[in-house]
A and B are shown apart, each in its own frame.
Chain A
């Protein structure tokens, strides 16, 4: 009853609505609602917990094997961890990028539209009306936030464990120069964001896949298969000509940030690749979602 009065404002009041402030507020309100659905879900919290626990396990394993002289083995940076705990974050990001980070992103991205369709909540969101383009935009924005959160969780957990188990100090870069701990942490922050950008590109692929099905599990599996297939092809030298076009090809290019001066072209290639993937798959998702019949 109380709201009925509010609708009887003078017609001129309508002119005030389209102001940018109110539209920004409605976007942030919807985004907050979307984020709370993602981050208050036990399954997603468990994924984030796994992302936090794995760096701990890696740290403990490296601490136990310290001094056993296993130089040259394993991923890059691994031999540096014993000398500087900051490198544990790089080792963790490198190892988690092969499966667990893409898995976490696939789960949340695959669920984004297909999960709503499966639940039946999609038809209610659309009749509210949330707006199909707007809903897709909000879904992707929330996925990007999740990607940043997932990568940040890995970095922070690794930094904490690294600081507890190993000495921490000025960072020696791959090019041999040493920078202060503060500058090193700043570069680590950029590396985390770079990895998050890679995951955001995967999330765009995932969002597109998610608009084609009502079965979130199917979408999640498809995204993972795509990511793994891309990694496999990327590791076969005979396919070198297609490597630069693979979505996973530039994932580990973040070591460009560990050189002095920073190898910007490598980074730029990676970011360009991600941007192209976001645009292409964003367009596919939009074309599909804005025309699809919602029969779930």
Chain B
């Protein structure tokens, strides 16, 4: 019912647009074309809580013998914003190309939205928006004409809603005013945003963005970050790669860290932070008693100095240690779990020579 009234609205909008779609007015045809979005959803209903991306031993060795990705097992939960981190050359882009079916894995398998790839390439990718290794459009066309080209290539997109959908996508990335400008006249930030707009031409369940803020000024970076937040808030799973830690830290719920083709960490951002809570420090009038409790909990490298006891945490949560101390009657005046900064963790995970690019 609402679909029908919306369809009416859209058709009105179209009539102001370009005339090249011709007087296609048959109502049944319209229903059929709109239903074009349906089969993709038939396999898995939106809101299904299955993982958005899974890979199993995904590996790529290029013909030259160079191992770009060495067997990684990604698990990207539905509804998450997954930051895919790693220095340049660590295999992020090759992984993304494999996820999208652009590059054939040497071994391993993967699924997108529960559909095995690459067999499902032509059906599942309609539900996936993507930006791979920077924007690429036809420089002689305007932003709007470029999106029209993208939409024309999509065999499941409804031609009659194209103009309305293109306007909406341009509006969402703030390019509506520059829609008629030639792509070659766009700034890098505008090009980047146009690429994101191409991913938004239709509702997507998953967005795969490769370095979406690469080359942007701080203002542009913030805009793109805001856009990703907004898209994620609407329920779309976002898989975003970056070599910039700060970017990921601010928008992601989950992270995967790549180092020379291997996935060296995967988990929630909290878990990553937790890895940094290596020591615990207790300020107390009874440091000796505290140290006994800490030893009893299995903590290592216990040091007692003045009114303080400190130890190396071995997976224990600081709050749990605190509870035990209090139960044991240790007067806890203060407790600290000094964490390494995420950036320190990062360098630790990815090794020296990481391009922090701050």
A residues with a Cβ closer than 8 A to B are 1-9, 11, 13-14, 16-19, 21-23, 25-27, 29-30, 32-33, 37, 40-42, 119-121, 123-131, 134-135, 291, 293-295
Contacts and interface: CB of A to CB of B under 8 A. Distances in A.
Contact of A9 (B20, B34, B133, B138): B34
A168 B3 CA distance: 62
Contacts of A13: 31, 34-35, 38
Question: Size band of the B side of the interface?
Answer: 35 or more
A129 B125 contact: yes
Contact of A131 (B42, B122, B140, B158): B122
Contact of B104 (A21, A27, A134, A291): A291
Interface in B126-177: 126, 128, 130, 132-134, 136-138, 140, 148-150, 152-159, 161, 164-165, 168
B121 A129 contact: yes
B100 A6 contact: no
B2 interface: yes
Contacts of B203: 3-4, 7
Contacts of B6: 2, 5-6
21 contacts: A2-B6, A2-B161, A3-B203, A6-B3, A6-B6, A9-B38, A14-B35, A26-B155, A26-B156, A121-B136, A123-B97, A126-B100, A126-B101, A126-B102, A127-B102, A128-B150, A130-B153, A131-B122, A131-B155, A293-B104, A294-B103
A162 to B, nearest CB: 35
A17 B39 contact: yes
Contacts of B110: none
Contact of A2 (B101, B126, B164): B164
B29 interface: yes
B33 interface: yes
A131 B192 CA distance: 24
Contacts of A1: 168
Interface in B40-86: 41-42
Nearest to A138: B153
Interface in B114-128: 121-122, 125-126, 128
Contacts of B41: 7
Contacts of A18: 39
Given A29-B159, A129-B125, A130-B153, A294 B102 contact: yes
Contacts of A131: 122, 155
Contacts of A11: 38, 42
B10 interface: yes
Nearest to B148: A33
Contacts of A125: 150, 153
Given A22-B36, A121-B138, A30 B153 contact: yes
B126 A14 contact: no
A14 B152 contact: no
Nearest to B100: A127
A9 B100 CA distance: 27
B32 A2 contact: no
B7 interface: yes
B149 A37 contact: yes
User: 4 shortest A-B CB distances, which residue pairs?
Assistant: A120-B136, A33-B152, A13-B35, A14-B38
A5 B104 contact: no
A41 B140 contact: yes
A235 to B, nearest CB: 39
The CB with the most chain B CB atoms within 10 A, among A27, A40, A129, A291, is that of: A129
B266 to A, nearest CB: 24
B32 A14 contact: no
A30 B168 contact: no
A30 B41 CA distance: 23
B348 interface: no
A2 B9 CA distance: 9
Interface in B19-38: 20, 29, 31-38
B155 A30 contact: yes
B198 A124 contact: yes
A6 B157 CA distance: 11
Contact of A293 (B103, B134, B202): B103
A14 B39 contact: yes
Contacts of B9: 2
Contacts of A37: 138, 149
Contacts of B32: 16-17, 19, 21-22
A25 B33 contact: yes
B126 A129 contact: yes
Contacts of B33: 17, 22, 25
Contacts of A14: 35, 38-39, 42
Given A17-B38, A22-B32, A124-B136, A295 B152 contact: no
Nearest to B127: A7
A134 B198 CA distance: 20
B340 to A, nearest CB: 36
Contacts of A293: 97, 102-104
A216 to B, nearest CB: 14
A3 B165 contact: yes
